[in-house]
Every structure is written in C-alpha cells, then in structure tokens.
Structure 1
Amino acid sequence: MRNVAAMLRRLLLAVAVLVIAVGAWFVWLLNAAGEFRTLTPHFDGTCTAVPIVGAEDLTIDQRTGIAYISSADRWALFAGKPPRGALYAYDLNAPSPQPVNLTPDADPTFSPHGVSLYVAPDGAATLFVINHAQGRHTIEVYDVDRMRLTHRTTLSDPSLLSPNDLVAVSPTQVYVTNDHRYPFGSKMRTVEEYLRRPWANVVMWDGHAFHEAARGIQLANGINHSADGKTIYVVSTIGRAVRVYDRDPASGALTFRREIPLASGGDNVEMDADGSLWIGSHPKLLTLVRYMSRGRPYAPSQILHVVAPDTAPEVREVYLDLGEQISGASVGAVRGKRLLIGAIADAKLLDCTMR
C-alpha cells in the first residue's frame, strides 16, 4: 500500500511539473507573439481602399511611379478552390489610379507571392515572382514594359522548400527566403513555428544553379538589398528582427553582420529613395494565425519605418490599425508621400497619403 501511495505521489508531482512547464511555455509564447501588447491605432494621413484581394506583396518602380502588385484569393485557396491570382500595375501618377491586371490569361491556379523588381543601368526592368500554383514552388521571370509583362522563363529547384519572398540583384541573380524548413501540414513545421526554431534559410540563384546563402533564421520572410547591392536585409518574423548581411558582389556570399530589433513580427520589406526600410508587420502573431483560420474577424496591421538601417537604425511606427481598416498588413511601399499598404488576405489594399 505504501508503494502504491509513493508511486501516486510521484505521478502527481510529475503531472504538476508538466502542467507548470506547459503553462510557462504558453505564457512565454503569448508574450513572444506580442499578445499582451496594448495597441493604439494611429496614422498621420489619409487612406483610400483599392479593391485588390490578397495583395500580399508589392513594389514601386521609383523611376516611373508604377507599383507592381501580387494578388491571390487566399480564402479561396484555403477552401480548396483556385486562388485566381494575378499581377497588377497601379500608376501612382494617375489622377484616379485604377489597378490594371497584367496577367488576365493566367491559369486559375496561378498563386503569386513575393515580388521583386530589378532595374538595370540601361533602364531594362525585370520582375521576379514566386508562384505556388498547384502546390509547386517556382519563380516566374517577366520582362517589364511599364504596364505590360512578357514572360521570360520559369525557375524551379528542390531547394525552394517554402519560398516566401525574393530580391533580384541582377537580371539573372536572385536571393529567395524559405520561411520554413518543413512542408505545410507536417508536424515538424508546427514544431518549427511554436518552438521558434531557427531552421529557415536564404537560397540564391546565381544564373546557373541554386545554393544556400544563409541559414539559422527564425521564419525568414521579407528580403531586400541596399542601393549599392552590398547589404542584404532579411526579416525574421518569429525572431521579430531584421537580420543584416554583408554581401560579396563577386561571389554573392552573405555574412551576418547584426540584427535590428523590431518588437513585432515583420513581413515584407521595401526600400525608399533614401535607403530607409519600410516593413509591413504583425504586432500580434497569434491573433494573425486565428484570423487566417477564420477564428477572428480582424488582425492588427502595422507599418514600420527603419531609418538609417546601416549606421544608427531607428524604428518608427508610422501606421497602426486594429484590423478594421485593413487586416494582416504584410507590406508597405513608399514613393514620396504616398504609402501603399497590402495585406495577406484582405479584399483591398490601401493607397495612403502621409502628411
């Protein structure tokens, strides 16, 4: 009888320790995801809604003022239906700009994600687009003539495990973030996310083959480069930081330099004419997860402005909304006083004018 009682006490103690450990982990996770933050909406400017569904990424050609926008209906995709993705042009110079579908003949399964525009010294422009059509991961490459795209080629490789965003450094060279090491739906992907494991990486297409350029990243998301091409910025969503890498232009090799803390789950990153970073961000990551699973009607949206990222970085919050104006903002791109805000699944993007 004594042995049974002793075994029962040990069992109860083990259960208690387990419950405390799980509880502590859950509180830690909520805190790390920003769920305890108090959010105060603000924006010094005005915004107009533009009807483009799932404008997850976009970039502005600073020369022409034309924005190129990636769109896919992710609610339809999650319901097992074709996402009917498209690439749009949006001319900021127009008195009343309207989105123009540049891929009207695309297959209904076309599912564009991250985009990057490379403009050569002679003005020739190339648009690189991640595509998840029919569960495959490819990079579609287009020649750009203002409001027209001509498909040039498709890149694919087993190293494109879970591509999210990309940045081109030449007409034939591009860096790509894999946001996870394990495929969607796998148990290890869940472990990777909720234990915040640094298993994501960056791969590079050098014009001939893909190879790994950086590893050890907690959910590698947005990526961009400095004007001189010698610095690469990678947003770590779960790490809530921008990872800064020195780039060797000759070999393409990346060497980690430093992190810029964001205190938020950053997504895509864009550059302005001054070399500052603009980041669409998710201040409450678990709220975003519930929103994407239809468990919440809204998810907060945040736009961060990182001034002087290479010298003395200062992170400024330019826009914050609880999700009523736009939910789950994933990108902010700037030209002058204009700020375009895109979102993962919302039925619109915002065309804003900053004061």
Structure 2
Amino acid sequence: MSYRKVLLKSIAILAVLFVIRYLAKQVLLLGFHKTAFTHWPGPCRSVSPVEHGAEDMVLTKNGLAIITSGIDVAYRGDVTDPRISAAPGKLFAFNFNKPEQNATELEFAIGTDSEFSPHGISIWEEGSETRIFVVNHRQDAETIEIFKLIGDIAKPKIEHIKSVQDPLFTSVNDVLATGPSSFYATNDGYLRFTAWRGLERLLSRPWGSVVHYDGSEAKVVVGSTFEYNGMGLSLDGQFVYIARPFTSSIMIYERSSETNDLAFHQEIAIGALPDNIFVHPVTGDLWSGCTAIGYRLLAAFENIDNWAPSLVLRVRPLGTKDRPFEQFKVYDVFSDDGHIMSSSSSAAVVGNGLLIGSVMQKLVYCDMKVDSTLSRDTY
C-alpha cells in the first residue's frame, strides 16, 4: 500500500473518530439518555398573571422580586414557535412577604421606542436608591436598560433612566451591576437574529465574551468564550460566577475591585445545564434554574406545547474564604417533568419561599419545608 493511500486512510479514520466524538458529546449534552422525575420541596403553585416566561429575576433587600418576561429567543437564530416572538416584553414584581398574592406588572416607557425584549436582569442598591439593569434584545442593537425602582413594596413602580449601547455588546445574555451605572455583561455569542448563529453554535465557535462597562465605555475582561449565560456576584464581591450550560458547569472568576478585570479561578461541574444564578444573600449558596434535558428544551422552542423538564439546583460552598468552592455539595431542590414548570431558567429564595422562572412559560412559587438559610441535606 502506497504512502498516499495510508495517509488518506488515516485521515478518513481520524475524521470518523472526530465525528463520533462530537456526536457522543452532543448526545450526552442534550440528555437523550436522561429521564425527568417530579420532586417538589413542598406545595407549589403557578403565579398569575405570568404566562409568557420569567427568564430571569432579582431580589431587593426587602423581599421584592423583579422578573423579566417575554424574551424573543429568535435572537439566537433558533427555530422558534411564532407564539414566543409574539409575546410582549414585560417586567413583573412579586412580593415574597405576601406570597399568596399574584405578581404585578410594572408599567414604564423607554422614550418613544416601545421595542422591549428583556432577558437577563440585575440590581444595584445603595442607600435609598435601587436601580434595575435589564438586557434588551432590540432588532437593531443590544442594549442595557437602566431603571429606577420607586414607590413602596406594596405598590412598586419603575422609571426608565437610560439605555446603554456599545459595539462590544454583540449578543448579550445577562448583566451584573457593579455600580449605579457600571456592570458586567455576558455575550453568549457573536451573531444575532440570523440562521448563521446556528452554525456558530454547531461549530462551537468561541466568539462570545464577558465585558465590563464602567459608565462611559466597555472593555473585554474575558475573551473567547462559548455560550456563557447568567452571572452572580459573591457576597464579598471577590468572585463572579458565570453559568456555562454547554459544559454543565459554573465558572468562577476572581474579580479586581480596582479594575474590574476577571481572572479564572475555578470551574465546578454540577451535572445539569445552568441558566441563571441567584446568590443567596445570607448563606452565599448558588441557586440555579437549570435545563434538565437539553433536547426537550429545543423541542419546546419549536413548539411551546412540548413540555421541557425543569430543575433547580442549590450549590453549597464547603471550602475556605479564599477558595469557597474548593469543596461543595449540589442539592436537587426542585424537579418537574414539565407539567407545572416547563423550561426553568431562574430562581430566587427568601426563607422557605422559592420562586422559579421559565424561559417562555409560567412563574411558580413553592413553600419549601426547609428554610433556605439552614444547612440541610434534604428537601
């Protein structure tokens, strides 16, 4: 056999092995081998009037949750149910102090531009002022909308302050406030509102990034990322947590308080596809609304009548102050086969109360049997 034939045969074998490896990774990632079971931490109910998603949420110090609803996932180039794009973008408020009540829609205006497709959300509280930061997928640009929360917890209102736009905002997924006008933002890719985005994802192109905006301009603080999603900040401000669903893990970066640069610290595997991260304000535990079975979520994007199983995980740090997640424990707090909660994406907790959001359907509240501030091994 000639050298040329041996070379071609070797290349063909390597190509086949590469394809097999790629397909095996996709099968594992999308969860074709998984089965979803239902396990609630206590009685749970749907919260009206949220019907078109509660993709992300934040919590004020006095127990008011602000929730984004009506994201148009078409910005990612996915094949989507037209009903998703038709859903209006809204913000809702939910009072943990009166969990028996429904959520309340917050009315606002963004100048003369009514285009609002909210995604990630963050909060900055300083003194008596509370600001809300929201990712907005406009057709012509990615923007961060900054609002001021006014009124009391019984009758909250918001007032739009400004829209922030920058060329480094390519395909923004989440925002994390670091000041009244500054924030981090994750770009989950580069291309948006085009079918080419599917090819970008298929080839696993690391065209995403994490950027920091200081109030006047943005800079890249983590480059060459792939599908980075939700973020959270440690209670002492030392670490930034970033969900990385395509590796079923959470990335931990050490933050410079002076420059806001990020340095890789650790990656922790959690065995599910995390979307958004809620940092418990008392314990520092990470709570994440996760995708339980990936291919079922894709099916739900195509037809929202297809249920996508939901999962909420709590990641408890057991390490030292400088390396809090050197050791950790993962708890399966909530799981559902899709009947009461389809396509979970976010969570927030206060005491025994657990609020769970979804990408494009309902908002669910659970009265947990175990207080979230306690170090318990069962739910």
Cα deviation 1:47-104 (Å, max 9, x = unaligned): 110131211111111x211110111164998528553211111112126322222125
Which secondary structure state, in structure 2, belongs to the residue aligned with residue 134 of structure 1? Answer: coil
Which secondary structure state, in structure 2, belongs to the residue aligned with residue 333 of structure 1? Answer: strand
Distance 1:41 1:95 in 2: 23
Counterpart check, 1:217 vs 2:232: no
Q: What is the CA-CA distance between 1:292 and the residue it aligns to?
A: 0.5
Residue matched to 1:317: 332
Cα deviation 1:99-133 (Å, max 9, x = unaligned): 2221255665311111101111x232110011113
Match of 1:345 among 333, 338, 360: 360
Following superposition of structure 1 onto structure 2, how do residues 100-249 of structure 1 map, counting pairs within 5 Å?
100-103=104-107, 109-120=115-126, 122-145=127-150, 146=152, 147-187=156-196, 189-249=197-257
Counterpart check, 1:66 vs 2:81: no
Match of 2:343 among 320, 328, 336: 328
Cα deviation 1:278-337 (Å, max 9, x = unaligned): 101112212211210118711111101011172422211111111111110000111111
Query: Following TM superposition, where does structure 1 have runs of at least 4 consecutive aligned residues deviating by more than 6 angstroms?
Result: 10-20
Following superposition of structure 1 onto structure 2, how do residues 234-313 of structure 1 map, counting pairs within 5 Å?
234-273=242-281, 274-294=283-303, 297-308=306-317, 310-311=324-325, 312-313=327-328
How many residues are aligned here?
A: 343
Which secondary structure state, in structure 2, belongs to the residue aligned with residue 43 of structure 1? Answer: coil
> Does the 8 Å contact 2:108/2:159 carry over to 1?
no
Match of 2:24 among 23, 27, 30: 27
Distance 1:313 1:195, change over 3 A: farther
Which secondary structure state, in structure 2, belongs to the residue aligned with residue 36 of structure 1? Answer: coil
> Does the 8 Å contact 1:82/1:109 carry over to 2?
no
Q: What is the CA-CA distance between 1:264 and the residue it aligns to?
A: 1.3
- Coordinate RMSD, CA, aligned: 2.7
Q: In the alignment, residue 115 of structure 1 is paired with which amino acid?
A: I
Cα deviation 1:215-259 (Å, max 9, x = unaligned): 233310000101121110011111211100110101111000000
> Does the 8 Å contact 2:31/2:294 carry over to 1?
yes
Which secondary structure state, in structure 2, belongs to the residue aligned with residue 28 of structure 1? Answer: helix
Distance 2:270 2:82 in 1: 33
Distance 1:315 1:135 in 2: 40
Which secondary structure state, in structure 2, belongs to the residue aligned with residue 26 of structure 1? Answer: helix
Distance 1:198 1:252, change over 3 A: same
Q: What is the CA-CA distance between 1:44 and the residue it aligns to?
A: 2.1
Which secondary structure state, in structure 1, belongs to the residue aligned with residue 28 of structure 2? Answer: helix
Which secondary structure state, in structure 1, belongs to the residue aligned with residue 296 of structure 2? Answer: helix
Identity of aligned residues (%): 30
Distance 1:341 1:329 in 2: 7
Distance 1:124 1:288, change over 3 A: same
Q: In the alignment, residue 48 of structure 1 is paired with which amino acid?
A: R
> Does the 8 Å contact 2:308/2:343 carry over to 1?
yes
TM-score with structure 2 setting the length: 0.83
Which secondary structure state, in structure 1, belongs to the residue aligned with residue 247 of structure 2? Answer: coil
Distance 1:43 1:150, change over 3 A: same
Residue matched to 2:375: none
Q: In the alignment, residue 31 of structure 1 is paired with which amino acid?
A: L
> Does the 8 Å contact 2:108/2:158 carry over to 1?
no
Distance 2:336 2:208 in 1: 29
> Does the 8 Å contact 1:270/1:277 carry over to 2?
yes
Distance 1:75 1:277 in 2: 25
Distance 1:13 1:318 in 2: 49
> Does the 8 Å contact 1:218/1:239 carry over to 2?
no
